[in-house]
Chains A and B, each alone.
Chain A
């Protein structure tokens, strides 16, 4: 594959950004839900 570093780099950057953000969102949710009541979490 020509220009593999650019191509793989684009894919890695995309997935790393998305996974990083997803981990942040999940961690934030878990952290906040520790002290939350059932009323504050209607999805449960």
Chain B
């Protein structure tokens, strides 16, 4: 039946391999810059080194959830109802959940050193935890039964609602009094003087993690496409079996 069955090739291509190698190089460079070459902070000492993985992690989470919403909006807009948008949305959502979890744990470790506690129910931490739970729910909704198009429609609606939490999380430090510090590098009015190598390490982290996100989302989107294809094949086989039953 399936004459065109191919040898295992996976989800990689020459371009993803190049992207992967570049990402690894930047990650190694980030490790050296973040852990060895960059200096200590005047106030926080060497604990500032957690920043080089904590900030890029939450950046990737924002980026991933933004992409989830954007791809969902494109899917729902009706201009292009291709399921590829749904798969990109699902892949980005999954990666976003991973990076929010990483951000929460690294933030908790950093908090233990700077605030003396792993967790406080302040606005930034609580809203981030709520964001994490919301997108766990988004992934759960994607796994409900139904056709691919039903999955795409209901998860796209949820993604467009869930994205409204991002401004809440990001601006929570300005709206409420929190233990978590306000935006510093991203705020042009903030009088924060970061050492050149510290700033370089931070931006290197943002670039490396963004490239990592791109690599992960491409691969995950392709494996989701294959999962859909497997499900379709199973459905086709079941329909064929029922037809044979009916004719015999």
A and B interact physically: yes
- Chain A residues proximal to chain B, CB less than 8 Å: 1-4, 6-11, 13-15, 17-18, 21-22, 25-26, 28-30, 32-41, 43-44
Majority SS of interface residues in chain A?
helix
Q: What is the bound-complex CA distance between A25 and B57, given in angstroms?
A: 19
Does B47 interact with chain A (Cβ within 8 Å)?
Answer: yes
Q: Report yes or no: B10 in contact with A26, Cβ–Cβ below 8 A.
A: yes
Q: Report yes or no: B230 in contact with A32, Cβ–Cβ below 8 A.
A: yes
Q: Report yes or no: A41 in contact with B101, Cβ–Cβ below 8 A.
A: no
Q: What is the bound-complex CA distance between A19 and B46, given in angstroms?
A: 25
Which residues from 15 to 68 on chain B have a C-beta closer than 8 Å to any C-beta of chain A?
Answer: 27, 31, 34-35, 45-47, 49-50, 53-54, 57
Q: Report yes or no: B102 in contact with A41, Cβ–Cβ below 8 A.
A: no
B215 partner residues in chain A, CB cutoff 8 A: 22
Beyond A18-B102, A21-B216, A26-B11, 19 additional pairs, beta carbon < 8 A: A2-B47, A3-B47, A4-B46, A6-B113, A7-B46, A10-B54, A10-B109, A11-B49, A11-B50, A22-B215, A22-B219, A26-B12, A29-B12, A30-B8, A32-B227, A34-B8, A36-B6, A38-B6, A43-B13
Tell me how far the C-beta of B95 lies from the nearest C-beta in chain A, rounded to whole angstroms: 8
A33 partner residues in chain B, CB cutoff 8 A: 6, 8-11, 226
Which residues from 211 to 248 on chain B have a C-beta closer than 8 Å to any C-beta of chain A?
Answer: 212, 215-216, 219-220, 222-223, 225-227, 229-230
In-complex Cβ contact of B225 among A1, A26, A40 (8 A): A40
In the complex, the chain B residue whose C-beta lies closest to that of A22 is B216
Q: What is the bound-complex CA distance between A33 and B230, given in angstroms?
A: 10
